[in-house]
Structure 1
Amino acid sequence: MTLKKLILLLLLAGVSYAFYGYVTTQFSQPAIAYKRYVSALLAGDSSRVQDVIGSDQAQQAFALHDARMDNLAGEPRLTWYEFLRRQDSVDGNTVQLVVLCHIRVDPAGKDTYIGSEDRRERHYVTLVKEDSSWKVAKFEDSSTAAHTATVLKRR
């Protein structure tokens, strides 16, 4: 085997490993449940994901839709996710995710296909497995954190 073939083989192995990691992260069942939840959250329509909502706290995040849209300061056009950390429980029935959610938005007065500005939002999510499906038990972003801080400050 020549050096050129060896280098190409190692390069192919590295690309394959990176692709495998991407696919197994982005298309795992907890990640898909999280993505469905965030999509409905940005649309402000909790009826789309009643089968994914697993607690009152996850349901209450939908009440902050107006504050969330004010933070985005524009119309969401395109969303993608960067999974920063995943922590599975010992029994495998709970997953904690830290996700950097990229949202392309169009501010007032602009209308593009993919959005002219990028907003980044860090999400802290806890999903639990009930029967054979994953449900969002806890969700926190900047809007829910600000609301929680306001409520605690009033007390």
Structure 2
Amino acid sequence: MTRQPCLAAAVALSLAAPALAETAPKEVHFDAGKVADSLTGVPGDPANGVKVMTTNALGNCVACHTIAALPEVQFPGTIAPALDGAADRWTEAELRGIVSNAKMTFEGSFMPAFYKTEGYIRPGDGFTGKAPEGELPPILTAQQVEDVVAYLLTLKE
């Protein structure tokens, strides 16, 4: 009998709280490279954004970009623009668009599309015959994109 009040409370809470829908990679709306709406409806966490940007298995943004606010990063890349002052150069919508798919803003960019699942060229078929079939998962989750954007918004001159 003690389980019923808990079950009733859980059902009531789930009905009262609006469901947050994550925007799927195919559903992201770019307007001149900008993505105005959050991909998750949840604010990004700048501390997790740093983790994503500095972890090889995640975004690893520091492999190409320098960030003066992160002096402990070993071997920062210098082949892409420094991210210092990013929040002064770009709006939140522009940063979200750039992190999601930089080619929507900078056509010739070599920056990977971190939130994309289709439209890839798969040279593995021509060389090894082992290119993956079907959709590929995005490099970052929608929340990780929001976390990176939240951190970039802290980088002011």
Scaled by the length of structure 2, what TM-score is found? 0.27
TM-score where L is the length of structure 1 = 0.27
Task: Tell me which protein shows more helix as a share of its residues.
Answer: 1
| Structure with greater strand share of residues | 1
